[in-house]
Amino acid sequence: MLERLRAVAALSLALLALVFAPRAEGSVARAVTLRALVTRSALVATCTPLEATSRWENVGGRRRIVTDTRVRVDRRVAGEALGGELIVRTLGGQVGEVGQVVSGEAVLIPGEASLLFFTRRADGQLAVTALAQGQFRLAPDAQGVVRLHPSPWRATLVDARDSAARALAGRALPEATRLIEEAARAK
């Protein structure tokens, strides 16, 4: 009986440890400043993903899943005017029953608006600058003010004190736009 009570107590402690344990992070990245994010980007715009297509492709000598997402440019904030719709490439996705997650990569969900920083890859295609650090979800607060929210898929940031995430998170869209435009002028 005493052994059974000890086993139940040990199991209870283990379950409590699991429930109250801090969240484990999947990746760590050096934080990018707002100025660096703007400087590295060909375009900064509010966009709404319309549809996404994933497929297998050779990336870096290995077969990987890549996703091309067609996005509508709702408003250009800074950089080149690249058109009303763009194709953006991200790593990871799902093909059939197989899914791949690339830790720290931006995830563009059809219908979910974001402020996106775009860079040109060597092959000319667009990607999100600095992976998920270049994606800020747009959502209205309780008063209906659209605010920026860092991507939930971004890596844990090192040296985040001067990061773009810290500079833009929680800001109203017009205020964030002003900060980005100022950083673009200082380029």
pLDDT score of 120 more than 80 = yes
Q: What is the DSSP string of 138-155?
A: EEE-TTS-EEEEE-TTSP
Given this model, what pLDDT does residue 122 score?
A: 87
Given this model, what pLDDT does residue 172 score?
A: 96
Strand partners, 46: 75, 115
Sequence-distant (≥ 6) Cβ neighbours of residue 33 within 8 angstroms: 162, 163, 164, 167
Sequence-distant (≥ 6) Cβ neighbours of residue 98 within 8 angstroms: 65
pTM of the model: 0.81
Q: What is the pLDDT of residues 6-42, one digit of tens each?
A: 433 334 333 333 334 344 445 676 778 999 999 999 9
Q: What is the pLDDT of residues 27-84, one digit of tens each?
A: 676 778 999 999 999 999 999 999 999 999 998 899 999 999 999 999 999 998 888 9
Q: What is the pLDDT of residues 94-103, one digit of tens each?
A: 999 999 988 8
Phi/psi-derived region of residue 18, left when phi > 0, alpha when psi is between -120 and 50, beta in every other case: alpha
Q: In terms of DSSP bridges, do strands 62-79 and 43-59 run parallel, antiparallel, or are they unpaired? A: antiparallel
Q: What is the pLDDT of residues 123-146, one digit of tens each?
A: 889 999 999 999 999 999 999 999
| Residue 108 confidence class, pLDDT cut points 50, 70, 90 | very high
Q: Work out the mean pLDDT of the chain and round it to a whole number.
A: 84
Residue predicted with more confidence, 161 or 183: 183
> Residue 23 has what DSSP assignment?
P
Sequence-distant (≥ 6) Cβ neighbours of residue 3 within 8 angstroms: none
